Amino acid sequence: MGRKPAGIRSSAAPTLIDVARVAGVSPITVSRALGRPEVVTDATRKRVLEAVRATGYVPNLAAGSLASSRSRLVAIFLPTIANSIFADTVQALTDRLAAAGYQTLLGLTGYSPE
């Protein structure tokens, strides 16, 4: 395993603040570079993305949802996944939604109307 860049805590997963330290920018700039790249310069976005790679940072989707008041979560309710058409449909939906930045939540109803 490689060493972590200077400024990164070794005991926990890297945070947005860690990325900011490595990139030499503020945490809000990191947030903007990742969430609204059109509001930062290309050079800044490149530095932030390099810091993300260097630190191994993975955004906390739950925290982002709380901050933005948007969950980016789509619930899919099915009667069963035993039928392959349902499984194939869920896979296709999940793939498309993930590409658009959404997560899926699968609920099985067991053919119950409730």
Helix (H, G, I), strand (E, B) or coil at 96: helix
Mean of all residue pLDDT scores within the chain: 87
Which amino acid is present at 2? Answer: G
pLDDT of residue 4 exceeding 60, the answer is: no
> d(Cα 51, Cα 48) in Å, to the nearest integer?
5
The per-residue pLDDT for range 85-98, each reduced to its tens digit, is 999 999 999 999 99
Q: Which of 98, 12, 1, 5 is nearest to 52 (CA)?
A: 5
Report, at the CATH architecture level, how domain 16-59 is classified: Orthogonal Bundle (1.10)
Look up the pTM and report it: 0.55
Domains of the chain, by residue range, sit at 16-59, 69-108
CB 45 within 8 A of CB 75: no
Burial 55-87 (b: 16+ CB within 10 A, else e): bebeeeeeebeeeeeeeeeeeeebeeeeeeebe
With pLDDT > 90 as the criterion, what percentage of the chain qualifies?
59
Q: Which residue has the higher pLDDT, 46 or 12?
A: 46
